[in-house]
């Protein structure tokens, strides 16, 4: 039997990076955690094992976030395992780079499918199925303010994520569900490592952009998500820029 007193969270992109830290922190707070993953089942099961070793409860469920059938099954699995869903943290995303003039349009479609359609599909299920007192937490990025050359595709999708977040917060009037987005700056994660491939000298330059003179960590961002998932009931329809003051 599911523990109906336990709050339940689905974390997409929960097998690595920021999503993995979010899953671990919320599990430590007593959440039942569904670790959503795209392709790397082994990493997701490793994340679940670490949560279990720390005394938490978690399961790994694979789903393409842009596939409405797969996302429906992701929510079904959460309800079967834990009895319902209270919080959705949608951290899954991809970051391909390239100047707009030369950007491959098939690659552009892939970015839009994962980052934008994926957010729409996940939020759609969340809007239909979250219990009262719940929270939807999307991931934008501080690049929407930086306007970095070579980042048009990713930046465009994250701007759209912010728009969806603000609209959905208002559409859920009367449901006691908050909808917010977290917009990280540069975080020392696998995504940043891929971004800096062949340009490692830029790491120090990026870190220096913040008055705190360091890169963010996955735990820095997970802390913000934890706040929005729990005590922050009066924060709604907002984009929180977590970037150490880089802008």
Catalytic residue (one of 31, 37, 75, 154): 154
Give the span between the Cα atoms of 183 and 173, in whole angstroms: 23
Could you give the residue ranges of the DSSP H alpha helices within 113-178? 118-129, 143-146, 152-171
Hey, how many other C-beta atoms are within 10 angstroms of the C-beta on 116?
20
Are the CB atoms for 70 and 63 separated by under 8 Å? yes
Hey, how many other C-beta atoms are within 10 angstroms of the C-beta on 128?
9
Q: Is position 37 annotated as part of the catalytic site?
A: no
Give the span between the Cα atoms of 82 and 244, in whole angstroms: 36
**Sole residue written with tokens 């050359």:** 149
Hey, how many other C-beta atoms are within 10 angstroms of the C-beta on 104?
11
**Of 179, 180, 191, 185, which Cα lies nearest the Cα of 221?**
185
Cα→Cα distances 168→132, 138, 220, Å = 15, 11, 26
The residues carrying an active-site annotation are 154
């Amino acid at each position: 039997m599911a523990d109906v007193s336990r709050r339940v969270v689905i974390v997409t992109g929960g097998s690595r990076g920021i999503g993995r830290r979010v899953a671990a922190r919320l599990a430590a707070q007593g959440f039942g955690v569904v670790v959503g993953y795209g392709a790397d089942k082994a990493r997701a099961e490793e994340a679940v094992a670490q949560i279990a070793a720390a005394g938490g409860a978690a399961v790994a469920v694979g789903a393409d976030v842009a596939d409405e059938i797969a996302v429906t099954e992701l929510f079904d699995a959460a309800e079967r395992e834990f009895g319902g869903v209270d919080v959705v943290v949608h951290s899954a995303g991809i970051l391909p780079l390239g100047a707009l003039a030369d950007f491959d349009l098939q690659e552009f479609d892939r970015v839009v499918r994962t980052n934008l359609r994926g957010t729409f599909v996940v939020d759609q299920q969340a809007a239909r199925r979250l219990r009262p007192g719940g929270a939807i937490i999307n991931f934008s990025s501080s690049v929407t303010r930086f306007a970095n050359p070579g980042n048009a595709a990713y930046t465009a999708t994250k701007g759209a994520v912010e728009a969806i977040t603000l609209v959905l917060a208002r559409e859920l009037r009367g449901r006691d569900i908050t909808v917010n987005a977290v917009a990280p700056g540069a975080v020392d994660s696998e995504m940043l490592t891929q971004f800096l491939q062949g340009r490692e000298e830029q790491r120090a330059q990026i870190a220096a952009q913040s008055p705190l003179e360091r890169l963010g960590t996955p735990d820095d961002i997970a802390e913000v998500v934890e706040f929005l998932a729990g005590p922050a009931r009066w924060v709604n329809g907002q984009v929180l820029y977590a970037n150490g003051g880089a802008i």
